[in-house]
Chains A and B, each alone.
Chain A
Amino acid sequence: MSALAVAAAALQVVGVLAGAPLVVGGMRQVRARLEGRAGGGIGQPWRDLRKQLRKQQITPRGTTVVFALAPAVVAGSTLLIAAIVPLIALGSPLESVADLFGVVGLLFLGTVALTLAGIDTGTAFGGMGSSREITIAALVEPTILLAVFALSVPGESANLAAIVSATENHPEQLVSPGSLLAFVALGIVIIAETGRLPVDNPSTHLELTMIHEAMILEYAGPKLALVEWASGMRLTVLLGLVANLFMPWGIAGADPSLLAVLIGLASITAKVVVLAGLLAAGEVFIAKLRLFRVPELLAGSFLLALLAVTASYFLGTPTS
């Protein structure tokens, strides 16, 4: 493990920290322009964060330490994911600490922390948001794990570096039915996990239709800033992860040179920008699904993931 590999991992964390509000701002700007509005500009989320971080700390009456710590747990678990997954370079020092299952577990740990915070407020909206969020999370889990399974078949490992380098060395695997199905399935669950349309509407102002927003309704000031920052980081990390799982080109190797790290940084930025732009553009054309239609969507993605695994079992070409 060279010093540069450690530096690359640190750069990933810093990049996600700095880039997440920009990604969110960029997506809002794309939507605004496509809907014929001027938009607040790409830097608006950063300005919001700065404003909220300077506001007064407010503790809603009757809440416990769970409510107070949940934002830090969400943000912390997301930062850890950013340090583990191969975004810029393959050889993260934490690579052997958690594989893709571990990453999924960390993701759920953050979700659970926020859900408990929502219940902890003791309001109807908090409970409602938590109940919906956990229902969706429970139904998302099978799809995610099956997609992980499908991805792990070619590299014969669920460790992220192994999956990414297997795809890099055998690009023909990408056009296999298994890989394509896994891509679609993973795409749907990421939309569900990060609370984007059509599962949840991040810009809604009507409490009754909220999922994620209802859960965090009681947060204000610095805590709200942390929650929003964390959800932006989750989106960014997951987009980056999907990009590198299916299009690993440009990523630096396990023992990178300075130039390779810079190329890796540039390529992951480009990939995330393109994916986020596509996602935002797609959201313009769809409406939010009714809550009880969401399980149908998730069941569909589960089926795709199942087909992906069986396809890569029966049609997969041996990698060795």
Chain B
Amino acid sequence: MLGAIGLALGLSVIFGEPRQLWIGWLLPLVGVRLDLDPLGGIFVAATGAVAIAVGIYAVGYAKREHWARFPLITLPLFVAGMLLVPAAGSVTTFLLAWELMAATSLILVLSEHRRAAVRTAGVFYAIMTQLGFVAILVALVVLSASGGGDAFTTIAANADSLTPGIRNAIFLLTVLGFGSKAGLLPLHAWLPKAHPEAPSPVSALMSAAMVNMGIYGIIRIDLQLLGPGPHWWGLTLMIFGAVSAVFGVLQASVSTDLKQLLAYSTTENMGLITLALGAAMLLASSGAPTVAAIALTAALLHLLSHAAFKTLGFLAAGSVLAATGLRDLDKLGGLARRMPVTTVMFGIAALGASGLPLGAGFVSEWLLLQSLIHAPHDSITLVALAMPLSVGAVALTTGLGIAAMVKAFGVGFLARPRSAAAEAAREAPMSMLAGMTLAAAACVVFAVAPALLSPALQRVLAVLPTVGGDSAGPQIDTILRLPGVAGSISPALLAAALAIAVLLALVLARWGGRHRPPAMVTPLWACGADSLSPRMQYTATSFAEPLQRVFDDILRPDTNVEVTHFAESQYLVEKVTYQTLMADPVEQRFYTPVVRAVTVWAHLVRRAHTGSVHLYLAYGAAGLLIVLLVAR
């Protein structure tokens, strides 16, 4: 078992630093072509970095949770699959790596297959990911057939000769297929099921690295190979992104399951990235390549910072799960005293996810907003309408994201424990903490010194000329300046200044301290009654109740309040039961009819299955004849 752990670790470390192999890396195998350019390189590097943190973490986690050997062997395979996808240089290699990634992740999701919820999630995931794969398969086969070759480089050379009809078809299919992998609406339903049910290191890999591959696909095929495209391409991506972002964060803000909340937050962040990509496309096609470059930088930077804070978030949630056996925020609480390091780690992740200053997500969201407000507004009405609405969507996402993260951190880690399991929590072992520390260090870099990533981002932008990548991108230095437009920010100086200001405030609070009696600890204010019980605290459900009420029309919670009165008087209440069920409304509306139709079809088809071999042979012959007729 330890050997397998070592393998996981070794593989992740080896693949973690492929930066030296970035440019012109060509390895033709038998039908497998790997061609790693800076665009693929940044995704490989991100995946590798996530894998290192997860690999170290998994050592302790696997020991603590008594993992079987099988998932331990699959884990490095999964990482390898994810590293191969962005390294693939041809359509066949890409599809093979994609399928390796999908199959191994499915096995890992199912590693705790004794629980029914895991099995349901697994089936859901399997179906959705394979349907997405079909869309990608068809799109890429059409692309390579009409692009005159299997390798991406050949296709890129012939890309101009494609007809608009084929381009549009490929665009729609790839957006659907890759969008379902990235967890975009309405194809997101697998994500909040599969990510929470997988073991936490796997959730971290899936949420921080695998969903990126969907974004990679969109960038590679739609932005790089097919060019900026007409206006409606960018607009479609923006709408997909905005809807996913708002819906994802709304679900996250009312979710009471710690890991599900993080999974919905993944949908949200992928939505923001897609929105940024769409904006880059729209801006490039309406003649503003400089601003498009800002939007593209925002997308890439957000992708990287999301990988960092989401890894950390899932790993910290995994520590909580391992220590308490709980994911339900309504039963957690009080972990700050019992698991201080994990609490700090989750705090860093939550700060990053909320997009506040000093958080990992701040710089990229700032870049995105800057690119949206600096769109040229005198040329096209469409742009003039799309940009304010996107700013509104991004802002609402940020606002609700703050609420969701305050809930996750505040209710989950602060206050007093709401259950015996949370009360008995113990800090995670060293290797788990070490894995988290790595991810936390990455978060701090994104928050305070994004300048360190600037050279890498510039090189990636340079290979994306169709969306303004060849024009000068934003200068990410100590002070971050934008080219062509006035606007600057400095996360490092901001952090330093804030630290000074907080110290100043602390000094102010000392004023008059000489006259003070020594400090003392007192019980909490209980309105004069006896001491408060932990059950009187606000829970995650009650914390999110105002938001749930405000967005009632979208969320459609199933609430059931039952009041039992005393027999003597209807004004006296004996007990109240409150039940609320948050189901995914999109899933209910959109998926249920589809599933029902498929079931009806399956029943019809079953009539043909009589068990007679002769009949099956006849089916085969008829099918062959039809194929021959069609293909004639």
Contact = CB atoms under 8 A, between A and B. Distances in A.
A42 interface: no
B497 A97 contact: yes
Interface residues of B, number: 89
B520 A58 contact: yes
Contact of B516 (A132, A141, A222, A309): A222
Classify chain A's interface size: 35 or more
Nearest to A102: B489
A61 B523 contact: yes
Nearest to B344: A65
A158 interface: yes
Interface stretch (B95-103, B138-146, B390-398): B390-398
A2 interface: no
A55 B515 CA distance: 8
A288 to B, nearest CB: 16
Contacts of B521: 58-61
A236 to B, nearest CB: 15
B546 A218 contact: no
Contacts of A57: 516, 518-520
B616 interface: no
A61 B415 CA distance: 10
A306 B392 contact: yes
A91 interface: no
Interface string B140-178: 000000000000000000000000000000000000000
Contacts of A134: 402-403, 406-407
Contacts of B510: 222
B367 to A, nearest CB: 10
A132 B520 CA distance: 30
A313 B78 CA distance: 49
B522 interface: yes
A293 B409 CA distance: 28
B388 A119 contact: no
A96 interface: yes
B518 A56 contact: yes
A159 B486 contact: yes
A292 B525 contact: no
B395 A145 contact: yes
Interface stretch (B29-37, B122-130, B292-300, B370-378): B370-378
A138 B377 contact: no
Contacts of B547: 135, 138
A130 B415 CA distance: 13
A162 B513 CA distance: 42
A226 B337 CA distance: 25
B342 to A, nearest CB: 14
A144 B369 CA distance: 13
Given A127-B543, A131-B546, A139-B550, A59 B356 contact: no
A87 to B, nearest CB: 16
B549 interface: yes
A279 B57 CA distance: 55
Interface stretch (A108-116, A167-175, A248-256): A108-116
Contacts of B509: 53, 71-72, 75, 222-223, 225-226
A319 interface: no
A155 to B, nearest CB: 8
A284 interface: no
Contacts of A75: 501-502, 505, 508-509
Contact of B524 (A83, A121, A223, A306): A121
Interface string A145-186: 110110011011111001000000000000000000000000
A146 B392 contact: yes
Interface string B398-431: 1110110011011100111000000000000000
A263 B392 CA distance: 38
A14 B494 CA distance: 19
B392 A302 contact: yes
Contacts of A143: 395
Given A56-B519, A97-B493, A222-B509, A135 B498 contact: no
Nearest to A298: B550
A60 B522 contact: yes
B336 A64 contact: yes
Contacts of B253: 138
A92 to B, nearest CB: 11
Contacts of B406: 112, 115-116, 119, 130, 134
A137 B395 CA distance: 11
A225 B508 CA distance: 10
B544 interface: yes
A120 B487 contact: no
Contacts of A306: 388-389, 392
A123 B399 contact: no
A89 to B, nearest CB: 18
B392 A122 contact: no
Nearest to B526: A123
A295 B521 CA distance: 39
A142 B409 CA distance: 23
A73 interface: yes
B354 interface: yes
Interface in B527-552: 527, 532, 534, 536-538, 542-547, 549-550
A66 interface: yes
A157 B415 CA distance: 42
A167 to B, nearest CB: 15
A140 B334 CA distance: 30
B542 A127 contact: yes
Contact of A132 (B394, B494, B506, B546): B546
Given A61-B522, A77-B498, A146-B391, A313 B487 contact: no
A145 B391 contact: yes
B471 interface: no
B366 A102 contact: yes
B501 A101 contact: no
Contacts of B485: 156-157
A142 B388 CA distance: 10
A313 B543 CA distance: 39
Contact of A313 (B377, B402, B505, B544): B377
Contact of A158 (B384, B396, B487): B487
A210 interface: no
Contacts of B372: 149
Given A122-B415, A149-B391, A112 B402 contact: yes
B373 A152 contact: yes
Interface in A272-320: 291-292, 295, 302, 306, 309-310, 313-314
Contacts of A126: 538
Given A76-B502, A138-B399, A56 B520 contact: yes
A122 B537 contact: yes
Contact of A97 (B395, B494, B519): B494
B535 to A, nearest CB: 10
A242 B343 CA distance: 38
A238 interface: no
B550 A106 contact: no
A6 interface: no
B366 A72 contact: no
A237 interface: no
B317 to A, nearest CB: 18
Contacts of B337: 64
25 contacts: A50-B512, A53-B511, A53-B512, A54-B516, A60-B522, A61-B522, A73-B505, A75-B501, A79-B504, A101-B366, A105-B356, A106-B494, A112-B402, A119-B414, A121-B524, A130-B406, A134-B407, A138-B547, A141-B396, A157-B485, A158-B373, A222-B513, A226-B505, A295-B550, A313-B384
Given A80-B497, A157-B487, 14 more contacts: A55-B516, A60-B523, A76-B498, A79-B501, A80-B498, A101-B489, A127-B542, A134-B406, A139-B550, A145-B391, A146-B391, A221-B516, A291-B546, A313-B388
Interface of B: 253, 333-334, 336-337, 354-358, 362, 366, 369-370, 372-374, 377, 384-385, 388-389, 391-392, 394-396, 398-400, 402-403, 406-407, 409-411, 414-416, 479, 485-490, 493-494, 497-498, 501-506, 508-513, 515-527, 532, 534, 536-538, 542-547, 549-550
